[in-house]
């Protein structure tokens, strides 16, 4: 039996986190956020409170055990959070609890009722629905009696639940446990682990939901970034392979390439151009994006090798001006060094751009550069996630891959061929002391594509493809092709001349025929006129003769006594 009961949740408003938690944190219960120093616990707790107040109109209490209220307000101002304003509007209470062991002497039994009273007063002051306690473990360093503390913490979380507030409790990562003081023992409804790892000098923040009682959740480690808008967890959800596919064809920007594919690329498909250095991969990418922009669509160019200005300049040399598309804000460049940041961060940034810029086409040029910032498996995993997301959004994506070394061409370095719908292989062909570019379709899913190898020309009018000639030594390109084309041209000329000759002959015949016809017609007309004339004369003389006879007959009847007897 399928229950339609939905676990009540409290949306955090933090980008991506609500997607992973399928709606937010458990409503009216405490959630533990743990991680090492500097992993973003405070910010997550703060963003939960601030977004609650700003976006969901739920007032909150932020109780800090580490930072003064003024420091906190200052720290998060750069993220666009104006705590003072929220406090002034009665949406937020900032409470700083200072515990210093040196000042405190313990002389017997006590409890933490003071803390309860302060928290309770703060909650009541604004009618808070959300509470953050950051980091409550500081109490352990300030107060000596662990037994009392543990009992009181247990009571505190029960009390928070009874109050019905959704709480975020932060805790420092311990050596053997999630938190130093084992807070997970008390806060067991939802546990989120933040991590900040550096690998090969590149650090990446990650978030993982360890536990979420009563609800399913994403179990992966999700990279997240802290940027000028706060925390951004990557919404890489398990999209699976059930995306809607489009049968709309879009142009690659090169008519001949479209023709090779039988009309163009499917929208939302993935295309790979792989080849050795200098085979024109970037040019194809730029042409593809420029064509998208000319259709009025937004396009994103993620370049891992060249800067924007360099690409724009280089493309001018083949008559492709990207500047108008950039000026119209249809084309966005995202040029970074692969080693500048970790893979996850690359991915995070690209995702963010996809979300904010909403392009219909995306180019990654070249994906193989990312090998520098991770191992094959990671790159592959990243591309799978990127592709899944883009397919889910119906974005057409074009990757380029740099192949190193001969004999390796039919295998892309990143091993992503299985993810790719359409794969063009670009290669150099060396023949007769020349090096020429050639391109062919290695595969194209669901399309009747050309099996031809074509020569790939970069002209001042952009990319041109020529059918490549097959000679005794293989494909003919460059001068060899030109020679062949010359021969063909000569033969064609001969044929053309032959046709011309025959055409002229035919015309001559026709003229002759027409002349003869004219002469014949003239003779005929002359003869006809002559006959007409003769006929006329004869008819005239005949009628004269009749009239004479009549006159004669009448004169005879005048002499006779009775009329009519003679003829009857």
Partner 1 sequence: MADPDPIAVKWDLRLYVAGQTPKSVRAFANLKRLCEDHLSGQYRIEVVDLMENPMLADGDQIIAIPTLVRKLPEPIRKIIGDLSNTERVMVGLDLRPAAAPGPRNPEPIP
Q: Which stretch binds partner 1 (CB under 8 A): 94-102, 257-265, 378-386, 476-484?
A: 94-102
Contacts of 155 (CB under 8 A, 6+ apart): 112
- Residue 112, interface with partner 1 (CB under 8 A)? yes
- Residue 494, interface with partner 1 (CB under 8 A)? no
Q: How many angstroms separate the CA atoms of 378 and 384, rounded?
A: 10
Considering beta carbons, is residue 107 or 238 the nearer one to partner 1?
107
- Residue 169, interface with partner 1 (CB under 8 A)? no
- Residue 95, interface with partner 1 (CB under 8 A)? yes
Considering beta carbons, is residue 126 or 453 the nearer one to partner 1?
126
Considering beta carbons, is residue 102 or 564 the nearer one to partner 1?
102
Least CB distance from residue 164 to partner 1, whole Å? Answer: 19
Kindly identify the residues of this chain, within the stretch 114-133, that bind partner 1 according to CB under 8 A: 114-115, 117-118, 120-121
Q: What is the 3-state secondary structure (H, E, C) of 416-440?
A: CHHHCCEEEEEEEEEECCEEEEEEE
299 phi and psi angles, rounded to 5 deg: -140, 145
Least CB distance from residue 95 to partner 1, whole Å? Answer: 7
- Residue 61, interface with partner 1 (CB under 8 A)? no
436 contacts 454 by C-beta, under 8 angstroms: no
Closest CA to 335 of 298, 360, 363: 363
Considering beta carbons, is residue 156 or 209 the nearer one to partner 1?
156
Kindly identify the residues of this chain, within the stretch 285-304, that bind partner 1 according to CB under 8 A: none
- Residue 151, interface with partner 1 (CB under 8 A)? no
Kindly identify the residues of this chain, within the stretch 411-470, that bind partner 1 according to CB under 8 A: none
- Residue 87, interface with partner 1 (CB under 8 A)? no
Least CB distance from residue 327 to partner 1, whole Å? Answer: 56
β-pair type (221-227, 202-212): antiparallel
Considering beta carbons, is residue 108 or 564 the nearer one to partner 1?
108
Considering beta carbons, is residue 88 or 540 the nearer one to partner 1?
88
Q: How far is CA 45 from the centre of its chain?
A: 33
Least CB distance from residue 110 to partner 1, whole Å? Answer: 4
Of the candidate residues 10, 139, 194, 257, the single one contacting partner 1 (CB under 8 A): 139
Q: Which stretch binds partner 1 (CB under 8 A): 139-147, 243-251, 307-315, 540-548?
A: 139-147
Q: How many angstroms separate the CA atoms of 521 and 549, rounded?
A: 42
Least CB distance from residue 115 to partner 1, whole Å? Answer: 5
Of the candidate residues 27, 36, 79, 99, the single one contacting partner 1 (CB under 8 A): 99
Of the candidate residues 88, 104, 538, 540, the single one contacting partner 1 (CB under 8 A): 104
Least CB distance from residue 104 to partner 1, whole Å? Answer: 5
Q: How many angstroms separate the CA atoms of 491 and 493, rounded?
A: 5
Task: Please measure the distance between the N-terminal and C-terminal CA atoms of the chain and give it in whole angstroms.
Answer: 128
- Residue 8, interface with partner 1 (CB under 8 A)? no
Of the candidate residues 2, 4, 5, 105, the single one contacting partner 1 (CB under 8 A): 105
* Helix or strand run (H / E) with residue 122: helix 113-126
Least CB distance from residue 69 to partner 1, whole Å? Answer: 10
Q: Which stretch binds partner 1 (CB under 8 A): 11-19, 49-57, 108-116, 211-219?
A: 108-116
79 contacts 115 by C-beta, under 8 angstroms: no
What tokens were used for 512?
A: 């002759």
| CB neighbourhood size of 177 (10 A) | 14
215 contacts 5 by C-beta, under 8 angstroms: no
Considering beta carbons, is residue 97 or 299 the nearer one to partner 1?
97
Least CB distance from residue 106 to partner 1, whole Å? Answer: 5
111 phi and psi angles, rounded to 5 deg: -140, 180
Considering beta carbons, is residue 114 or 534 the nearer one to partner 1?
114
Considering beta carbons, is residue 92 or 480 the nearer one to partner 1?
92
Considering beta carbons, is residue 153 or 289 the nearer one to partner 1?
153
Considering beta carbons, is residue 151 or 512 the nearer one to partner 1?
151
Q: List, in sequence order, every residue forming a beta bridge with 466; answer none if it has no partner.
A: 455
Q: How many angstroms separate the CA atoms of 372 and 135, rounded?
A: 38
- Residue 71, interface with partner 1 (CB under 8 A)? no
Q: Is 37 exposed, middle or buried (0-12, 13-18, 19+ CB in 10 A)?
A: exposed
Least CB distance from residue 145 to partner 1, whole Å? Answer: 9
Q: How many angstroms separate the CA atoms of 320 and 313, rounded?
A: 9
State the number of binding residues for partner 1 (CB under 8 A).
24
Least CB distance from residue 152 to partner 1, whole Å? Answer: 9
Considering beta carbons, is residue 110 or 524 the nearer one to partner 1?
110
Of the candidate residues 55, 71, 111, 489, the single one contacting partner 1 (CB under 8 A): 111
What tokens were used for 192?
A: 């989120």
**Location of structure tokens 């925390």:** 231
Considering beta carbons, is residue 7 or 96 the nearer one to partner 1?
96
Considering beta carbons, is residue 94 or 425 the nearer one to partner 1?
94
288 contacts 415 by C-beta, under 8 angstroms: no
Q: List, in sequence order, every residue forming a beta bridge with 133; answer none if it has no partner.
A: 63, 169
Q: What DSSP letter does each residue of 427-495 carry, written as one string? A: EEEEETTEEEEEEEEEEETTS------EEEEEETTEEEEEEPEEETTEEE-HHHHHHHHHHHHHHHHHH
19 contacts 208 by C-beta, under 8 angstroms: no
5 contacts 44 by C-beta, under 8 angstroms: no
Least CB distance from residue 418 to partner 1, whole Å? Answer: 59
210 phi and psi angles, rounded to 5 deg: -80, -35
379: three-class secondary structure by DSSP:
helix
Give contact residues for partner 1 (rule: CB under 8 A): 95, 97-99, 103-115, 117-118, 120-121, 139, 142-143
């Amino acid at each position: 039996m399928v229950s339609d009961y939905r676990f009540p949740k409290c949306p955090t408003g933090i980008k991506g986190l609500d997607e992973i938690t399928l709606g937010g944190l458990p409503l009216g219960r405490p959630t533990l956020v743990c991680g090492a120093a500097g992993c973003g616990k405070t910010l997550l707790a703060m963003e939960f409170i601030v977004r609650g107040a700003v976006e969901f109109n739920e007032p909150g209490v932020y109780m800090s055990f580490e930072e003064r209220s003024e420091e906190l307000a200052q720290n998060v101002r750069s993220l666009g959070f104006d705590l003072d304003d929220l406090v002034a509007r009665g949406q937020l209470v900032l409470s700083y609890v200072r515990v210093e062991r040196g000042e405190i002497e313990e002389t017997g039994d006590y409890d933490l009722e003071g803390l309860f009273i302060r928290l309770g007063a703060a909650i009541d002051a604004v009618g808070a629905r959300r509470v953050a306690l950051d980091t409550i473990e500081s109490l352990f360093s300030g107060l000596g009696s662990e037994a009392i503390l543990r009992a009181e913490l247990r009571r505190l979380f029960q009390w928070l639940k009874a109050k019905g507030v959704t709480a975020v409790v932060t805790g420092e990562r311990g050596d053997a446990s999630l938190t130093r003081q084992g807070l997970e023992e008390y806060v067991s409804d939802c546990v989120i682990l933040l991590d900040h790892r550096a690998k090969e000098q590149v650090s990446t923040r990650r978030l993982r939901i360890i536990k979420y009682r009563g609800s399913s959740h994403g179990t992966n480690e999700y990279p997240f970034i802290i940027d000028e808008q706060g925390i951004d967890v990557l919404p890489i959800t398990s999209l699976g392979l059930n995306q809607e596919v489009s049968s709309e064809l879009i142009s690659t920007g090169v008519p001949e390439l479209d023709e090779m594919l039988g009309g163009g690329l499917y929208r939302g498909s993935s295309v790979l151009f792989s080849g050795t250095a200098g085979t024109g991969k970037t040019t194809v990418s730029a042409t593809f994006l420029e064509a998208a922009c000319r259709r009025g669509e937004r396009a994103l160019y993620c370049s891992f090798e060249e800067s924007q200005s360099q690409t724009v300049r280089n493309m001018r040399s083949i008559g492709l001006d990207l500047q108008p598309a950039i000026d119209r804000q249809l084309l966005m460049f995202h040029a970074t060094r692969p080693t500048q940041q970790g893979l996850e961060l690359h991915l995070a940034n690209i995702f963010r751009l996809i979300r904010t810029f909403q392009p219909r086409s995306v180019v990654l040029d070249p994906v193989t550069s990312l090998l520098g910032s991770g191992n094959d498996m990671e790159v592959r995993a990243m591309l799978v996630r990127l592709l899944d997301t883009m397919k889910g959004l119906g974005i057409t994506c074009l990757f380029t891959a740099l192949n190193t070394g001969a004999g390796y061409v039919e295998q892309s370095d990143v091993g992503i061929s299985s993810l790719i719908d359409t794969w063009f292989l670009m290669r150099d062909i060396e023949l007769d002391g020349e090096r020429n570019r050639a391109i062919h379709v290695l595969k194209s899913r669901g399309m009747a594509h050309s099996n031809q190898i074509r020569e790939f020309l970069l002209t001042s009018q952009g990319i041109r493809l020529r059918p490549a000639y097959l000679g005794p030594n293989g494909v003919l390109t460059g001068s060899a092709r030109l020679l062949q084309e010359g021969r063909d041209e000569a033969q064609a000329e001969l044929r053309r001349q032959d046709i011309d000759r025959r055409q002229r002959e035919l015309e001559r015949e026709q003229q002759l025929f027409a002349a003869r016809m004219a002469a014949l017609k003239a003779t005929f007309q002359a003869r006809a006129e002559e006959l007409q004339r003769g006929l006329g004369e004869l008819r005239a003389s005949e009628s004269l003769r009749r009239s004479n006879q009549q006159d004669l007959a009448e004169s005879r009847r005048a002499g006779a006594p009775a009329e009519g007897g003679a003829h009857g």
